[in-house]
Chain A
């Protein structure tokens, strides 16, 4: 049994800049036509990125991630830090299978769940109760699992009084608390958390950090935690991954 939860090998992601909508139809038609005639793709630099490793990309493209390699051990809480636009979100999006990498591979050991934005899939018109089920299912839980944890979720969120009220009547704090509560009760082997602590009051933030600590230390789950909040990162993680313009650097953090 290996003790590596995530292994990332030569991962790259290329994005096109500018307006994607304009000119794509003519590009596409050109490409099809060339293929039809058996010629090379005239826009090969866009679609066949695999075959050119030597950084030659046109002006309107950008490597959001470039040849990234790293491993995460089971049960580790790894912080991911970096400036805006350093590629954090892209990395998380690829990890959570929202978009595909341009090249490279990610090997995973265990079920993965991501919390890129709490409250995803909440429906304004539906009650807190209905939304717990819907959101839980969107995040990958079965109905039976949600039923089992329902009381715990409601308890954690602290909105039991409003559980049968449509969530559009909730305050934003209540909304986020309920959403985080659902997500926190997922039982993935790998949990990806992106900037969820920016909302909610201090007490709730403390609760969240505590929950994440529990999840990793007691239940042995792996957590990837993205934040700009350095004190939260230092509080939770031994190591952090510093992303800078698409490349990574592993740093160990001094205990606080």
Chain B
């Protein structure tokens, strides 16, 4: 009998960074179907259906224009308020939705994970992808309004840094995934964190130049905002599309480095937790 012929060996411990990416690739159809499920199930039995993708950012923008623009009178660096807020909201929503969902992936899928095996990484990945699809729909809305301001009123001058856009999206997705993986490992054990999560993400938004431009922050406190790896992403996006914002290689390098470290750390922790979380969840 050939002892070396086993196709698979189940052992108590695995390697530290064994992500089983090959297996993830084999399950790519599942990823696609999960994304599909997200869309279909969200809007079944609603009248407006996918229109909700547009209504959400529009309503938030109107609210921001009224509250932050007209009542609190926070400046927008001379950019028309609607396009300024919509830019921030579109990007931030993508990040916060990704993070919010991946952070509770073990808890939300405990019933499924407890019954059948598939590479667990598929779940958080499918969350990122389905938010990516949502982002592209909402980004189309932004583009329509943006084109109006560029061509009709000519109040904004975009520049070359627009080409960074796909890269910024990648960066945000990676950061949300990495952080989400870390938090998901913790929420599977300490449920308290779930309560903290949405609150923290909200706070984080205010620490990011979403509703205000970075230039409105006094020089003294700028380093604080710059510590936030999301700041440079939003700023560069606005710099490219709206022509006002701050771009520096230092801050973007910082965000890249942060994302890489967080992703590696998240993968290690996720990998460790996925094996026994069923016993602790």
Residues of chain A touching chain B, judged by Cβ–Cβ distance below 8 Å, are 1-4, 7, 15-16, 20-21, 24-25, 50, 93-112, 114, 116-117, 120-121, 123, 125-126, 130, 133-134, 137-143, 166
Contacts and interface: CB of A to CB of B under 8 A. Distances in A.
Contacts of B54: none
A125 B9 CA distance: 38
A137 B8 contact: no
Given A24-B189, A24-B190, 19 more contacts: A3-B1, A4-B1, A16-B279, A21-B191, A98-B113, A98-B278, A100-B11, A100-B13, A101-B12, A107-B9, A107-B10, A108-B9, A109-B7, A114-B117, A120-B115, A125-B45, A140-B27, A143-B29, A143-B33
Nearest to B278: A99
Contact of A99 (B9, B45, B111, B275): B275
Q: Which of B7, B36, B41 has the most CB of A within 10 A?
A: B7
Contacts of A102: 12
Interface in B163-219: 189-191
Contacts, number: 117
B41 A98 contact: no
A166 B27 CA distance: 25
Nearest to A145: B29
Contacts of B62: none
Contacts of A139: 116
B30 A106 contact: no
A16 B7 CA distance: 32
Nearest to B191: A21
Interface in B20-49: 26-27, 29-30, 32-34, 36-37, 40-41, 44-45
Given A100-B276, A137-B33, A94 B10 contact: yes
Contacts of A93: 114, 278
A4 B45 CA distance: 51
Interface of B: 1-3, 5-13, 26-27, 29-30, 32-34, 36-37, 40-41, 44-45, 111-118, 189-191, 275-276, 278-280
Given A108-B6, A166-B44, A138 B275 contact: no
Contacts of B111: 120
B278 A142 contact: no
A218 B114 CA distance: 31
Nearest to A134: B33
A139 to B, nearest CB: 6
A193 to B, nearest CB: 13
B33 A96 contact: no
Nearest to B113: A98
A134 B37 contact: yes
A98 B12 contact: no
A20 B208 CA distance: 37
A134 B39 CA distance: 13
B33 A105 contact: no
A138 B276 contact: no
Contact of B117 (A15, A96, A105, A130): A96
A85 to B, nearest CB: 16
Given A98-B117, A104-B12, A126 B6 contact: no
A125 B41 contact: yes
A190 to B, nearest CB: 10
A3 B6 CA distance: 11
Contacts of B115: 98, 116-117, 120-121
A100 B12 contact: yes
Chain A to chain B: the 6 pairs with minimum beta-carbon distance, closest first: A137-B30, A106-B10, A97-B117, A120-B115, A143-B29, A107-B6
A109 B5 contact: yes
Contacts of B40: 125-126, 130
A101 B10 contact: yes
A94 B10 CA distance: 8
